[in-house]
Amino acid sequence: MKDLIIAANWKMNKTIPECISFISDLDIRLSQWELNPKLKKLGILIFPPAISLHPMNGRSKFISLGCQNIYFEESGAYTGEISVKMIREYTEYALIGHSERREIFKETDKEINKKIKTSLDAGLAPLLCIGETLDEREADKTFDRLAEQLRSDLSGFPPIEIEKIIFAYEPVWAIGTGRTATPEQAQEVHAFITEEINKISGRENKRMILYGGSVKPENSKELLTKKDINGALIGGASLNVESFFAIIEKSLELV
């Protein structure tokens, strides 16, 4: 397992040529550290639009690809959906339960639970996103909400499967808003999430928990130095190769 994971969620942005140009540019920048053993301690992931997975595949040995969403059925009458079978060859990770999927597309914890299972069965590492809304935080319900999401989303999985899951704490109020949780706020929640997962799985283990919510080069290092923050899931600042690379460069100093 990597010491830190730096992941880009491009959402519905970038055409195929733009995706190819980005990965080629980033690959050239990363190749300067090819012989630096620290680079191996960094997991660099990109979640591009699904249509770009195939064309981006194999263009960088430093960058892994992930799918932003999957459907839990293998095939059939599910217009617009993508099954793991279709993308399995081009991706190692599946982003599951992002707050935009939960809010805009009304994805439920039950569906998220099924998607985690589908992803694990196909050998893809799920990156499960959880987080509270502003109303929940202001009503002092952050921990209740996160515990509820974890219990439902992880329901039925044996500890050995839970170990394969990467988590992302993404406070909904910090996504795309420019408002970031302070490193202390984020650390407090990450410590809580670690404990909850340990309780659910019945095993005391180190978990990979990324922080997401307006991470940028200016705040990434402070967040990533916190004990239980094992990486970042980045939206806006990952769309620009300079700012995404700047976050990677700062992370390299921490591994």
Question: Is 54 annotated in the active site?
Answer: no
How far apart (Å, rounded) are the C-alpha atoms in residues 129 and 143? Answer: 15
The CB-nearest residue to ligand PEP is 235
Helix H segments across the chain? 16-31, 53-56, 84-87, 99-103, 109-121, 134-138, 142-153, 159-162, 183-201, 220-224, 241-252
How far apart (Å, rounded) are the C-alpha atoms in residues 192 and 182? Answer: 16
The site string for ligand PEP over 1-40 (x = CB under 6 A, - otherwise) reads: --------x-------------------------------
- Indicate the residue among 86 and 98 with the shorter CB distance to ligand PEP: 98
Least distance (Å) from ligand PEP to the CB of residue 10?
Answer: 9
> Which among 58-66, 110-118, 187-195, 210-218 is the span making contact with ligand PEP, rule CB under 6 A?
210-218
CB 200 within 8 A of CB 154: yes
Q: Number of C-alpha atoms within 13 angstroms, CB side, residue 5?
A: 28
Question: Is 190 annotated in the active site?
Answer: no
The site string for ligand PEP over 124-163 (x = CB under 6 A, - otherwise) reads: ----------------------------------------
Among 109, 111, 170, 228, indicate the residue that binds ligand PEP (CB under 6 A). 170
Q: Return the percent helix, strand and coil in the chain, to nearest 5.
A: 45, 15, 40
Residues that bind ligand PEP (CB under 6 A): 9, 170, 175-176, 212-215, 233-237
